Amino acid sequence: MPNPTHNEICPENMLEHRAVKAWSQLHPERVEPKAIEILKLREKSAVYRLAGLQPDGSAIIAKRCPRPVGLIERTIYQRLFTGQLVPALRWYGFVEEPDGDFSWLFLEDAGAGAYLPSSAEHRALAGGWLGAVHGAAMKSGLERELPDRSPVRYLEGLRTSREEVRRHCDNPALRRAEIRMLKALVSDLDMLEAHWSQVEKMCQDGCRTVVHGDLVIKNVRVRTMVAGARLLVFDWQHAGWGVPCADLAQLTDRTVSPDLDTYACALRGSWPRLSDGRVRELAECGRFFRLLDEIGWESPLLTFGPYRFVVKPVSRLRVYQRQLHQVLLAAGWAQVHSRREEAGSRQRSCGQARDHKRRSRSSRVSSRATVKLTRDRRRTGYDV
**What are the structural domains of the chain?**
14-108 (3.30.200.20), 120-377 (3.90.1200)
Answer yes or no: is pLDDT of 194 > 60.
yes
Give residue 44's pLDDT: 86
Burial of 150 (0-12, 13-18, 19+ CB in 10 A): middle
- Asked whether residue 308 carries a pLDDT value surpassing 70, the answer given is yes
**What long-range pairs does 107-110 form, CB within 8 A, spacing at least 24?**
107/60, 107/61, 107/63, 107/77, 107/234, 108/58, 108/60, 108/61, 109/49, 109/58, 109/59, 109/60, 109/61, 110/61, 110/221, 110/223, 110/232, 110/234
Per-residue pLDDT at 169 exceeds 60: yes
| Confidence (pLDDT) at 337 | 57
3-state secondary structure of 378: coil
Sign (positive/negative) of CA torsion 134, 140, 143, 148? Answer: negative
Supply the mean pLDDT for the chain.
87
pLDDT tens column, 338-379: 444 444 445 554 555 454 444 444 444 333 433 344 444 444
Residues 119-145 have a mean pLDDT of 94
pLDDT at 31: 82
Environment class of 84 (CB within 10 Å of its CB; exposed 0-12, middle 13-18, buried 19+): exposed
> pLDDT digit string (tens) for 224-264?
988 889 999 999 999 999 999 999 999 878 899 999 999 99
Nearest residue to 245 via CA among 205, 274, 203: 203
Tell me the residue ranges of DSSP E strands in the chain: 35-41, 46-51, 60-66, 91-96, 102-108, 209-211, 220-225, 228-233, 240-242
Amino acid letter, residue 368: R
The predicted model gives 174-197 an average pLDDT of: 97
Q: Which range is least confidently modeled, 166-180, 273-287, 291-305, 358-372?
A: 358-372
Is pLDDT larger for residue 375 or for residue 22? 22
* Predicted local distance difference test score (pLDDT) of residue 316: 97
**pLDDT at site 154:** 97
Residue type, 249: A
- Asked whether residue 36 carries a pLDDT value surpassing 50, the answer given is yes
CA-nearest of 235, 200, 192, 199 to 217 is 235
DSSP secondary structure, 133-145, as one string? HHHHHTTS--TTT
Instruction: Say what the pLDDT of residue 347 is.
Output: 53
Q: Could you tell me what percentage of the chain is helix, strand and coil, using 3-state DSSP and rounding each to the nearest 5? A: 50, 15, 40
Give CA–CA dist 242/209, Å, rounded: 6
Residue 357 pLDDT: 47
